[in-house]
Amino acid sequence: MVNNLLDRIQALGHGTLAALSRLGRANVFLMAVFAGLSGMLMRPGLLVKQLFSVGVQTLIIIVVAGLFVGMVMALQAYYALVDFGAEDSVSVMVVLSLLRELGPVITALLFAGRAGSALTAEIGLMKATEQLSGMEMMAVNPVERVVAPRFLAGVISMPLLAAIFSAVGVMGGYLVAVQMLGLDSGAFWSQAQSKVELFEDLGNGMIKSLVFGFVVSWIAVFEGYDCIPTSEGLGQATTRTVVYGSLAILILDFVLTALMFSK
């Protein structure tokens, strides 16, 4: 009985220590990535290549998701507002929710699933096949050559993808509200224009997606670099990227929203 209790306390202690040391490693790793960013300036080609695979190749899923999210938002807003005769405000609801919340958050969630998991798998596989060790032995710093360009590409891509998501979402909303439900086009745009603030809404949304990009890319590259180099370890690391990434996005979204939009 006592032994059982002691074992549990010991396991709790081990678990806590392991989690803390992992957090410490992640921070040390982030510092190494920052140090690696300066060396990368000499090789812009590495960044461009990663911007393509991290950003451009995520574009299709972002555009399709954005379009349908915008369309659904317009439909829901219309059904809710039409009872009050306020259907002209559909655009305000669509645009504000896209810019403030849905754009950054859904983009980040999709990014974690599509690009984040790919980053973890790619770096983890390079570790498992000794490519990272091989680079080290060739006197090439793998954090600088492999990790830093991928991390920076993630941070740069996220706000751009979120902006595209929101823009396409607004177009989707327009299609449903104006073309399908027959609202007035002028009212749609003028209502949106009168209610959307440049910094308050657009700016804060961009800041959110920049923070999400930073955190998701950090988690993705760290999980890949720190994974156990076996097929099982790699699978677990990829799962962790998506799970931790998604949770971090949702928790940070609450924190940022509370800070940004408090009156």
Any contact of residue 7 with other proteins (CB under 8 A)?
no
Angle between helices 2-40 and 148-174 (to 10 degrees): 90
Pull the structure tokens for residue 195: 């209610």
Q: Residue 168 and residue 170: Cα distance in Å, rounded?
A: 5
| Exposure b/e, 38-76, CB count within 10 A at least 16 = b | eebeeeeebbeebbebbbeebeebbbebbbebbbbbbbe
Any contact of residue 136 with other proteins (CB under 8 A)?
yes
Minimum distance between the CB of residue 118 and other proteins, rounded to whole angstroms?
A: 13
State which of residues 12, 19, 140, 250 lies at the interface with other proteins (CB under 8 A): 140
Other beta carbons within 10 angstroms of residue 20's beta carbon come to: 10
Span near other proteins by CB under 8 A; candidates 60-68, 72-80, 110-118, 132-140: 132-140
Minimum distance between the CB of residue 132 and other proteins, rounded to whole angstroms?
A: 9
Give the nearer residue to other proteins in terms of CB position, either 57 or 131. Answer: 131
Q: If binding means CB under 8 A, how many residues of this protein chain bind other proteins? A: 13
The secondary structure of 62-100 as a DSSP string is: HHHHHHHHHHHHHHHHHHHHGGGT-GGGHHHHHHHHIII
Any contact of residue 141 with other proteins (CB under 8 A)?
yes
Give the nearer residue to other proteins in terms of CB position, either 45 or 203. Answer: 45
Minimum distance between the CB of residue 231 and other proteins, rounded to whole angstroms?
A: 14
Minimum distance between the CB of residue 35 and other proteins, rounded to whole angstroms?
A: 10
59: number of CA atoms within 13 Å, CB side? Answer: 9
Give the nearer residue to other proteins in terms of CB position, either 35 or 250. Answer: 35
State which of residues 15, 134, 186, 203 lies at the interface with other proteins (CB under 8 A): 134
Question: Footprint of other proteins on this chain (CB under 8 A)?
Answer: 126, 129-131, 133-141
